[in-house]
Each structure stands twice: as structure tokens, then as C-alpha cells.
Amino acid sequence: MEKILTADGSYTCRHPGYMENYHAKEGARAEAFAKFVRPGRLADRLRAGPVRLLDVGFGLGVNARAAIEVARETGAHFLHIDSVEADHQALTRARTLNPDCPVLSSLENTGQWREPFAEIHLYNTDIREVGLTLPGDFDLIFHDPFSPMKNTECWTVELFAHFKTLLRADGMLLTYAEADAIRAGLFQAGFSVGLTPPAPPHRGGTLAVPLPAQAPDPLDPEPFTHPPKNIAYHDFTLKEDGKTIRARREAQVRTLASAEEEGSANRRIGGAKGEIGGKANAEHRTSNIER
């Protein structure tokens, strides 16, 4: 396994199956604070009362350890973290990168870790299995799988809808993803969706709060109610593989593209017929279905 030193001095590595890095090269630790801990207002929440966090995709434990740091510094109320990780090798990789970390060694030995202001329970399984059995009332969900193109089963309307049932009324889901397909999925699952601010060099991401609450800096839901922005990923049984889920969405995208093409050709013909001696009303549109 190759250790990758990121810009803030923290380490990450590449997943050999997904062929993606676990974190941005701009800084693994800084990314955890910029995209999850700060926009989730974890410190404020901990000052107000105990916090329950669902950490989806524990990976190398960077997000979870950033949250623990805040709980220790705040020193007010207790932080309970349920971390979920499908890959049994993730903890081994995390330990190789951080051999002296007592949190990781305790998780490796017992699946749990606890100190006065925080604890973690690690579930080594698919979020779609354990997510259905965890008791709700989470204040925060840090949703950090690999990219939608590679880890598609984690980005569906049905999983987001389940997350909504796990969140408290004033809870919040945070993710680094910015794609329309993901934001559409969150809208369709019953969330108010907003932007997390960029924290250069890190880009902004997305946050979502269960309706009827309103997200800070909310996105207008209207453009996400019709194509192409409303084409989300679906996993109707919460058991499908990523390839099937991707193929379904790609088929929808192709159908829309050919309908657009046909409509545009019809308009060209209509325009040419309607304009006696005039120029054809040719339309050169670039489809922006995939972004």
C-alpha cells in the first residue's frame, strides 16, 4: 500500500478496487473539517447537548477522528459515533497509516472505542444492511462513500429516503458530492438541499435537512423537478449492485437525449417549412444531461 502525504501533513492512500484516493490531496484532515465537521456545526451542537453521528464510509477514520477532536476540545456533551464500513481491509489500511492511534487499535481489537467525551461503534458491513437496523435520532450523517460513478449504490434516492428516517427533525446530512444527480436524489427523498461553502483549496459540497426544515443557503428545488436535473439514481430494493443502478440511470439519460434530438430535428423541419425564403430555425443545443 502506498502512503500518500496530503498538503496538510495528513496521510491518505488509494483504494485498489475503486482506484480512487480516500481523500483529496489538498489535505485529508482539512477536508474532514471543511466538508463535514464545520458545515455540520458539530461544536455548536455539542455545546447544546449530546450528539449522535452516523459516519457512512469509515474508511481511514479521518472524519470520525476529526469529530472526536471537536468533542475533546468542546468538552461539553457526549459524542456517540456509529461508523459503517463495508470493506474489511479499511481498518488495516488506517492502522498502517497511523500505527500509534489508540482509537484505531481499539476498533481493530473490539470494534469499539470510548473515552469521557466520545465513543465509536464500528459496523463492518454495507450501510444498506446496518442502516436499516440502527435506531434513528441521529443529529448528523457524514456521507462519504467513493464517487457516485464508482460507488453508485450509496447515492440513491432510496438510501437517502432511509437516511431521512434516521435523522432528527433538526438533523443534517453532509456530503462532498456536488452533482445534480445527487442533489436531485436528496430532493426526491424529502430533503431541503443546500450548499456547503467552499473552503479553498477545498471545493464546496452539499448539505441536506429533512423537510419541513429549511437548509441554510438552500438550492431552488424547481430546476430539479424536470429533466435533465431530476435524473437521480435508484435502488428500489436497497440490494442492487452499482452496475445495475448506473445502467438504469444511463438508459434514462439516453432516452432523454434522443427525445431532445428528435424534438430539435422536428423544430428544424418545422422552422424551415414555416420560413418562406428565410433561414431555417436551426437549433444547436448542447445537452447538459450529465454533469
Ligand X SMILES: C[S@@+](CC[C@H](N)C(=O)[O-])C[C@H]1O[C@@H](n2cnc3c(N)ncnc32)[C@H](O)[C@@H]1O
Task: Name the residues that contact ligand X, by CB under 6 A.
Answer: 22, 32, 57-63, 84-87, 90, 126-128, 144-146, 151, 153-154
Q: Which grid coordinates are listed for 268?
A: 428544424
Judged by CB, which is closer to ligand X: 133, or 288?
Answer: 133
Whole-number minimum distance, CB 183 to ligand X, in Å? 19
Whole-number minimum distance, CB 268 to ligand X, in Å? 45
Q: Which grid coordinates are listed for 113?
A: 472505542
Q: How far is CA 272 from the centre of its chain?
A: 47
Judged by CB, which is closer to ligand X: 59, or 194?
Answer: 59
Judged by CB, which is closer to ligand X: 229, or 246?
Answer: 246
Whole-number minimum distance, CB 21 to ligand X, in Å? 8
Kind plus residue range of the DSSP H or E element containing 240: none
Judged by CB, which is closer to ligand X: 51, or 53?
Answer: 53
Whole-number minimum distance, CB 155 to ligand X, in Å? 10
Place of cell 432523454: 256
Q: Which grid coordinates are listed for 152?
A: 453508485
Whole-number minimum distance, CB 92 to ligand X, in Å? 11
19: left (phi over 0), alpha (psi -120 to 50) or beta: left
Q: What angle do CA 8, 11, 14 make, to 5 degrees?
A: 125
Considering only CA atoms, which of 94, 111, 88, 96 is closest in space to residue 17? Answer: 88
Judged by CB, which is closer to ligand X: 86, or 140?
Answer: 86
**Residue 204 to residue 196: CA distance in whole angstroms:** 5
Judged by CB, which is closer to ligand X: 89, or 255?
Answer: 89
Considering only CA atoms, which of 107, 44, 43 is closest in space to residue 71? Answer: 43
Judged by CB, which is closer to ligand X: 82, or 144?
Answer: 144
Whole-number minimum distance, CB 226 to ligand X, in Å? 30
Cβ–Cβ contacts within 10 Å for residue 95, how many?
A: 17
Length of the chain: 291
Kind plus residue range of the DSSP H or E element containing 255: helix 242-274
Cβ–Cβ contacts within 10 Å for residue 212, how many?
A: 8
Whole-number minimum distance, CB 123 to ligand X, in Å? 8
